[in-house]
Chains A and B, each alone.
Chain A
Amino acid sequence: MNARRAILVGILVLVAVGIATLVLLERFPQYDPRRVQPESMKPLDRVGAWVGALCVIAIFSFIYRENPFYRTFEHILLGVSIGFGTALIIRQVLYEQWWEPMRLGIEAIVYGRSSPEHIWDACLIFSGFFGLLWYFQYSKKYLWLSRITIGVTAGAAAGLGIKRVILQDVPQITSTFKNIMIHPGLAPHLNEAARWAASAKSFLFLIIVCCVLYYFFFSFRRDTPLAKAPADMGRFFLMISFGAFFGNTFMTRVVILIDRVQFLLHDWLRVIHTW
């Protein structure tokens, strides 16, 4: 599709949507925005809704086929994201968390009203220099300087990572140690049927964990049916979990679509005003 045709399609879509809006408002006068929510008819809200709707339609136009209308808005999105991210880092991190405390700290020291906190803040200047060493990556001669920063950063990240793994993942392992037979002493609040059900659940859990782990155990050949069966079962259980993953993935995608349709119908067209 060439650019002129894409523009024409875009205009036609907008005209169609405009006509549909008029028809719907005619059909459902009770949903006329001037009657439903007069206080929310701020001009900028409406402009925002129109811009948003245009973006949604542009992105959705990809479903029809790749086209310049979609491509334009994709580039706008990328540009806005990168610009926003850069501004965010400069304003929220570099300025607020580094430059301002450091400036105030140095000022306090210069004017002789320093406290331990001010001295600490002034020391941020060193962290700035230290961070700038990263940029020696672009110099062959002074590349070694950047390695100092990388080494310290990697060391700190590794230390924190180990702590996190121990505190986060070890409980995952210990939680697999389950009682297979739940006797009355373990769960006095459960009746016999519930205890049997809990025992069956623990047993099933154990079987699945063992089979899945066995599937990833490649130290010997699985020639006999007895050696193959647990691995096959493990694969079977994995397939079930992948199915659950896929189902959940689909659900999130559909909910996102529902949200955009709600935006179009509620915020833009105002065909619905509540759910």
Chain B
Amino acid sequence: MDRRIIYLVFFILVVIAHLITLPTRVTPSTVTKRLYEMVESLPADKAVLVDSDWGAGIKAESEGQMRALLHHAMRRGLKIVILSWTHNLEGQKFGYDVTADVAKDYGYRYGEDWCVLAPLTKASGQELAGLAKDIHGTLSEDTNGVPLDDAERLPMMQHIRTIHDIGLVFQVAYGHEGTAWLGFIQGVYGTNVATAVSAISSSTAYSYVESGQFCGMLAGAPGAAEYEELLGLPKESRFARKPVSVLSLAIGYILLMIVIGNAAYWGSTWGTKR
């Protein structure tokens, strides 16, 4: 069979799955529950630092993950600081847009409850070491060019100066960039670090959760859907639900193709062997 027919059927299935409502049952995994419990137990005076290191290429998974955690942090009334990188300005833009969007639901105000820092330049982890000791010294302004010391426009940042003011570092990225946080922040200061990675990278990230270095993890779009389930978000706020329901159908189709392909292969070699 021409493989393009398989692709075409697959594409049509994905389109149809978007137009109909499929039954979806999501059961939260242990790693997702751990993250949920960690955010739930954070002291009210501690902030959440979200490392927004994602872009258009992995938007499908990362956006849902970031939205889910922001919902939880904002529901708890925690201050949110978004960190981005000079090598990935998409992360800055997406981080800003997503946080601004979720903030509308909770009445969060920029500068008072959340802010986006100016992008940081990667320097083999040295930048994280500097950030831990002095946030205002390492990054002197926010993304709009407002000095972090400006008490009028960024009042929340007057109370967030070192890593000790951060209760949780939540890194959203395609892969294992989060491990730099383990080496230079979690390993040194014992700060809680959690990660949200693509499903493709989650296999290797599990060992860091198992060892207790990551306090929790959201693995791909299913991880985001599990977190939304734990939060009990209303249907219209569940960003990851639809992709996961479509994913179930797509995986079912691929499994069917694997079975048919193998059966056809065995069938074609059966006579030869005999």
> What is A's interface to B at a CB cutoff of 8 Å?
63-64, 88-89, 92-93, 97, 156-157, 160-161, 163-168, 171-172, 174-175, 241, 244-245, 248-262, 265, 271-272, 274-275
CA of A257 to CA of B179 in the docked complex: distance in angstroms?
27
B233 in contact (CB, < 8 A): no
Residues of A within 8 A of B119 (CB): 92
10 shortest interchain CB distances as A-B pairs:
A167-B187, A259-B60, A275-B242, A175-B211, A164-B183, A252-B200, A168-B183, A251-B199, A248-B199, A92-B86
The CA-CA distance from A160 to B221 in the complex, in Å, is 33
Q: How many residues of B contact A (CB 8 A)?
A: 54
The reply to whether B19 and A167 form a contact with Cβ atoms under 8 Å apart is no
Q: Which residues of B contact A168 (CB under 8 A)?
A: 179, 182-183, 187, 213
Q: Can you report 25 residue pairs joining A to B where beta carbons are below 8 Å apart?
A: A97-B121, A156-B124, A157-B124, A163-B125, A164-B183, A166-B187, A167-B182, A167-B187, A168-B179, A171-B187, A248-B219, A249-B199, A251-B199, A251-B222, A251-B251, A252-B58, A252-B61, A252-B220, A254-B250, A255-B61, A255-B243, A256-B60, A259-B59, A260-B60, A275-B242
> Using Cβ atoms and an 8 Å threshold, which residues of chain B touch A167?
182-184, 186-188
Report yes or no: B19 in contact with A271, Cβ–Cβ below 8 A: yes
How many whole Å from A94's CB to the nearest CB in chain B? 10
Cα distance, A255 to B183, chains bound together (Å): 30
For window 112-128 of B, CB contacts with A under 8 Å fall at 119, 121, 124-126
CA distance A156 to B182 in the complex (A): 19
B215 interfacial by beta-carbon distance below 8 Å: no
Contact of B199 among A161, A164, A255, A274 (CB under 8 A): A255
Interfacial chain B residues near A93, Cβ < 8 Å: 86, 121
Residues of chain B in range 191-209 having any CB-CB distance to chain A below 8 Å: 198-203, 207-208
User: B interface vs A, CB < 8 Å?
Assistant: 4, 7, 11, 14-15, 18-19, 57-61, 86-87, 89, 119, 121, 124-126, 179-180, 182-184, 186-188, 198-203, 207-208, 210-213, 219-222, 236, 239, 241-243, 246-247, 250-251, 254
Contacts of B222 in A (CB 8 A): 251
Bound-state CA distance A257–B243 (Å) is: 10
- Inside 8 A of B201's CB, which chain A residues have their CB? 248
Do A248 and B200 touch across chains, with their CB atoms under 8 A apart? yes
B254 touches A250 (CB 8 A): yes
Give Cα A161 to B179, complex, Å: 12
Q: B185 → chain A, closest Cβ, in Å?
A: 9
Taking chain A's interface residues, is the majority helix, strand, or loop, or is none over half, making it mixed? helix
A29 smallest CB distance to B (angstroms): 15
Contacts of B180 in A (CB 8 A): 164
Cross-chain contact A252 with B199 (CB below 8 angstroms): yes
The answer on a CB contact under 8 Å between A175 and B242 is: no
Q: In the complex the two chains form, is A252's CB within 8 Å of B121's CB?
A: no
B242 and A88 contact, CB distance less than 8 A: no
Q: How many A-B residue pairs have CB under 8 A?
A: 131
Smallest CB separation, A18 vs chain B (Å) = 16
Q: Is the CB of A171 within 8 A of B211?
A: yes
Beyond the given pairs A252-B198, A255-B243, 8 more chain A to chain B contacts, judged by CB atoms under 8 angstroms and listed by A's residue number, are A172-B208, A244-B203, A248-B199, A251-B247, A252-B58, A254-B247, A255-B221, A271-B19
**Across-interface contacts of B239 in A (CB, < 8 A):** 275
Q: Which B residues lie within 8 Å of A257 (CB)?
A: 11, 14, 250
- Max count, chain A CB within 10 A of own CB: residue among B15, B211, B241, B242: B211
Whether the pair A160, B126 counts as a contact (CB closer than 8 A) is: yes
Nearest-CB distance from A77 to chain B (Å)?
11
Contacts of B247 in A (CB 8 A): 251, 254-255, 258
What's the minimum C-beta distance from B46 to chain A, rounded to whole angstroms? 22
Task: Given A175-B212, A262-B243, check contact A163 B183 (CB 8 Å).
Answer: yes
Complex contacts, A248 vs chain B, CB 8 Å? 199-203, 219-220
CB closest chain-A residue, reference B221: A255
Q: A164-B125, A256-B58 are in contact. Are A64 and B243 (CB under 8 A)?
A: no
Give min CB distance, B56 to chain A, whole Å.
Answer: 9
B212 and A251 contacting across the interface, CB-CB below 8 Å: no
**Cα of A260 to Cα of B121 in the assembled complex, Å:** 30
From the candidates B4, B61, B125, B242, name the one contacting A64 in the complex (CB within 8 A).
Answer: B4
- Measured between beta carbons, the chain B residues less than 8 angstroms from A157 are 124
Q: Which residues of B contact A262 (CB under 8 A)?
A: 18, 242-243
Bound-state CA distance A174–B179 (Å) is 17
B122 to chain A, nearest CB (A): 10
B211 touches A249 (CB 8 A): no
In the bound complex, residues from chain B placing their C-beta under 8 Å from that of A275 are 18, 239, 241-243
Complex formed: what's the CA distance from A174 to B212 in Å?
11
Residues of A within 8 A of B198 (CB): 252
